[in-house]
């Protein structure tokens, strides 16, 4: 293996003059995902969510083998 190909998986795309097929700045989300995100934001503003600690407690109760 030549030294310029070493760790090729970790090298940036510019090193191989590759351009991405999708422009990451113009990301379009599925309409259902957009609705779910908006609903989640509204619930958060209304205080309907719960803390990280509460979420972890619920996960540990449901999946005790993850402790």
pLDDT digits (tens, 9 = 90+) for 10-63: 666 666 666 666 555 557 889 999 999 999 999 989 999 888 999 999 999 999
Asked whether residue 55 is domain-assigned, the answer is yes
20 neighbors 13 (Cβ within 8 angstroms): yes
Domain extent at residue 47: 30-67
In a domain, 21, yes or no: no
Residues 52, 56, 57, 62, CA torsion sign:
positive
Q: Is residue 7 part of a domain?
A: no
pLDDT of amino acid 65: 87
42 located within any domain: yes
What is the number of structural domains in the chain? 1
Cα–Cα distances (Å) from 43 to 10, 30, 38, 46, in that order, read: 40, 20, 9, 5
pTM for the whole structure: 0.43
Neighbours of 29 (CB within 10 A): 10
Higher pLDDT, 64 or 3: 64
């Amino acid at each position: 293996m030549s030294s310029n190909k070493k760790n090729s998986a970790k090298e940036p795309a510019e090193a191989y003059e590759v351009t991405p097929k999708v422009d990451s700045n113009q990301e379009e989300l599925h309409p259902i995902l957009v609705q779910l995100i908006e609903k989640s934001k509204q619930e958060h503003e209304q205080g309907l969510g719960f803390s990280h600690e509460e979420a972890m407690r619920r996960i540990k109760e449901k999946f005790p083998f993850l402790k």
